[in-house]
A = this chain, B = another copy of it.
Amino acid sequence: MNAEIISVGTELLLGHTINTDASYVARELSAIGVNLLFASTVGDNIDRLKEALENAYRRSDIVITTGGLGPTGDDLTKETIAKSAGKPLVLHQESMDRIIEYFKGRVVGESQKKQAYLPEGCTVFPNDWGTAPGCGFKTDSGKIVVMLPGPPSELIPMLKNYAVPYLMKDSNAVIVSRIVRVFGLGEGYVAELIPDLTDGANPTAATYAKDGEMFVRVTARAEDETRAAALCEPVVEELKKRLGDYIYGIDVESLEEAVVQELKKQRLTLATAESCTGGLLSKRITDNPGASEVFHMGVVTYANDIKTLLLDVPEETLKQYGAVSEQTARAMAEGVRKKSGSDFGVAITGIAGPGGGTAEKPVGLVYVALSDKEHTWVRKMPGTGTAKGRCYIRTLAASNALDMVRRRLNGLGGLEQAAYTLKK
């Protein structure tokens, strides 16, 4: 089955709203084995939406729209689609009750009420986080149409809970996907290591790069979950062999999730001391619900005297080697471990730029240290200048810190080898 997404909304064409909806939908489609051929965006304009619909009906089996279901005058998706399909909009009492309930006794205007009118004979998708329901129906020529609201907070649950089951109900294939996550090897390098694996049709394997990391997604389709999983297995095993301990997790969401999970498992705790990352590392750790089990304390010691005050970094060290030095990173990591009483202390100090670089200590130079009761390891990220930007340098520094913890927890080598500094 081929599908096409039409995102509706002038705000998307003005560029201030990034079209994340299309990505969410694309990911879900890919996960259930639906082939997405086109995605298009049109403004809140009947004629242009009609043109997009005609193109979509001509070339795809499934058309999914996002946006344009709300109460305001420029929300035209439902009316336009229903008209083009020759379906009248009829009152869906349950949706009307929900909308009235949503406003809790306040007067509900006509524009709000129009949201409860849906194409005759459609399957209604309740909106658990807003007022506009979505729906799915088949056109007379057999095309499947699915309409979803624009706000991601409404679209995401509706997609998972109602739209995907709706699309799956006619299918008798099951899709299983595995995500193999890698830190420290570039996507291009990995692609060259696994050309035979990315060539397959079932399972498929594909590489992706994001935020200084890469991952491989392995997807198989079969008549049931067990068989689909079994098809993935040998490819995942082969990836493990070829990529070794650069794989930080399989089917985890992020490096920080992998680290928090492993700390929990081993009942160990971690404290952070950050300079140039300014709290990004602790923010990423605490993005994980329940991080409080393994993380009790972080400090952002942006000024030198605060490094001494909170972490007992010797003034001598700062004076002799500077705040951005192996010695200071080491003292910060040891200091925060001791101060917090945690099993591990991690520290980051560097120059995120764009200012502050010198010939000797260029922008991008970052020292990352990990201390446990016996040892302290330090990674040096070489200065690469301002090209990659402040945000990238900070992200990669925090990721290097997490990678060091992961390697220490799993008894792996490479603690002092900064990511992407190998000749790969």
Number of copies: 2
Q: Which B residues lie within 8 Å of A210 (CB)?
A: 16-17
Can you name 9 A-B residue pairings with CB atoms under 8 Å? Answer: A11-B206, A14-B36, A14-B206, A16-B215, A18-B23, A40-B41, A153-B388, A283-B283, A306-B340
Q: A299 and B302: CB pair below 8 A?
A: no
A422 at the interface (CB under 8 A from B): no
Residue in B16, B59, B283, B310 whose beta carbon sits within 8 Å of that of A279 in the complex: B283
Q: A12 and B27: CB pair below 8 A?
A: no
A171 at the interface (CB under 8 A from B): no
Q: Give chain A's interface secondary structure class.
A: mixed
Q: Which residues in window 345-371 of A have CB below 8 A to B? A: 352-355
In the complex, A195 Cα to B153 Cα: how many Å? 26
In the complex, A339 Cα to B339 Cα: how many Å? 15
> Given A40-B40, A300-B286, are A30 and B15 also a contact pair (CB < 8 Å)?
yes
Q: B30 and A38: CB pair below 8 A?
A: no
Q: B278 and A282: CB pair below 8 A?
A: yes
Q: Which B residues lie within 8 Å of A15 (CB)?
A: 22-30, 36
A297 at the interface (CB under 8 A from B): yes
In the complex, A300 Cα to B217 Cα: how many Å? 35
Q: Which B residues lie within 8 Å of A29 (CB)?
A: 15
In the complex, A137 Cα to B389 Cα: how many Å? 31
A391 at the interface (CB under 8 A from B): yes
Residue in B20, B48, B286, B391 whose beta carbon sits within 8 Å of that of A278 in the complex: B286
Task: For A26, give the chain B residue with the smallest CB separation.
Answer: B15
Task: For A392, give the chain B residue with the smallest CB separation.
Answer: B153
Q: A41 and B22: CB pair below 8 A?
A: yes
Residue in B129, B206, B302 whose beta carbon sits within 8 Å of that of A296 in the complex: B302
Task: For A7, give the chain B residue with the smallest CB separation.
Answer: B39
Q: B295 and A298: CB pair below 8 A?
A: no
Q: A16 and B292: CB pair below 8 A?
A: no
> Given A303-B297, A310-B310, are A354 and B19 also a contact pair (CB < 8 Å)?
no
Task: For A130, give the chain B residue with the smallest CB separation.
Answer: B387
Chain A: interface residue total (CB-CB under 8 A): 81
A85 at the interface (CB under 8 A from B): no
> Given A40-B39, A52-B38, are A298 and B278 also a contact pair (CB < 8 Å)?
yes
A37 at the interface (CB under 8 A from B): yes
A105 at the interface (CB under 8 A from B): no
Q: Which B residues lie within 8 Å of A19 (CB)?
A: 18-19, 22-23, 39
In the complex, A281 Cα to B283 Cα: how many Å? 9
> Given A38-B41, A208-B11, are A297 and B289 also a contact pair (CB < 8 Å)?
no
Q: B306 and A301: CB pair below 8 A?
A: no
**Bitwise interface map of A from 33 to 57 toward B, beta carbon under 8 Å scored 1, else 0:** 0001111111100001001100100
Q: B272 and A300: CB pair below 8 A?
A: yes
In the complex, A75 Cα to B43 Cα: how many Å? 29
In the complex, A249 Cα to B391 Cα: how many Å? 23
